[in-house]
Amino acid sequence: MLQGWIQIGITLVLIVAIAPIFGNYIARVYLGQKTLLDKVLNPIEGLIFKLSGIQPKTQMTGWQYARAILYSNFTMAVLLILIINFQGVLPLNPTAMSAPSWDTTLHTTISFITNTNQQHYSGETTFSYFTQTLGLGFMFFTSAGTGIAVAIAFIRGLTGRSLGNFYVDLTQAITRILLPISIIGAIAFIAAGIPETLSAPMIVPTLEDPNLSQAIALGPVAHFEIIKQLGENGGGFFAINSAHPFENPNGFTNLIQILTMIAVPTALIHTYGAIANNRKQAWLMFGMVFIIYVGFIVVTGIGEYQGNPLVSSLLGGQSPNLEGKEVRFGWAQSALYAVTTTGTMTGAVNSMHDSLMPNGGFITLSNMFLQIIWGGQGTGTAYLFAYSILAVFVTGLMVGRTPEFFGRKIEKNEVVLTSFLILLIHPIFILIPGAIALAFPDQLAGISNPGFHGLSQVIYEYASAASNNGSGFEGLADSYPAPTGLWWNLSTSISLLGGRYIPIIALLLLADGMSRKQPVAMTTGTLRTDTLLFTTVTAGVILIMGALTFLPVLALGAIAEGFQIAKIAAGG
Q: Round to whole Å and give the CA distance between 209 and 415.
A: 67
- Amino acid identity for residue 145 in this structure: G
List own/partner pairs for 299-302 with CB under 8 A and 24 or more apart: 299/359, 299/362, 299/363, 300/335, 300/338, 300/339, 300/356, 300/359, 300/360, 300/363, 300/364, 301/4, 301/5, 301/8, 301/331, 301/332, 301/335, 301/336, 302/359
365 vs 566 pLDDT, higher one? 365
Examine the pLDDT at 509 and tell me if it is beyond 80.
yes
Q: Give pLDDT, residue 572.
A: 59
pLDDT digits (tens, 9 = 90+) for 168-188: 999 999 999 999 999 999 999
pLDDT digits (tens, 9 = 90+) for 421-459: 767 889 999 999 999 988 887 666 777 777 899 899 999
Examine the pLDDT at 83 and tell me if it is beyond 90.
yes
pLDDT digits (tens, 9 = 90+) for 141-156: 999 999 999 999 999 9
Task: Kindly state the average pLDDT of the residues 447-473.
Answer: 89
Strands (E), 129-191: none
Q: Give pLDDT, residue 545.
A: 85
Examine the pLDDT at 196 and tell me if it is beyond 90.
yes
Examine the pLDDT at 526 and tell me if it is beyond 80.
no
Q: Give pLDDT, residue 525.
A: 63
Task: Using a pLDDT cut of 90, give the percent of the chain over it.
Answer: 68
- Listing DSSP states for 457-508 in one string gives HHHHHHHHHHTT-------S-TTSSTTHHHHHHHHHHHHHHHHHHHHHHHHH
Task: Using a pLDDT cut of 70, give the percent of the chain over it.
Answer: 96
* Cβ atoms < 10 Å from Cβ of 167: 22
pLDDT digits (tens, 9 = 90+) for 332-369: 999 999 999 999 999 999 999 999 999 999 999 999 99
Residue 416's pLDDT band (cuts 50, 70, 90): confident
Task: State the chain's mean pLDDT as an integer.
Answer: 90
Examine the pLDDT at 548 and tell me if it is beyond 90.
no
How do the domains of the chain map onto residue ranges?
A: 2-204+213-277
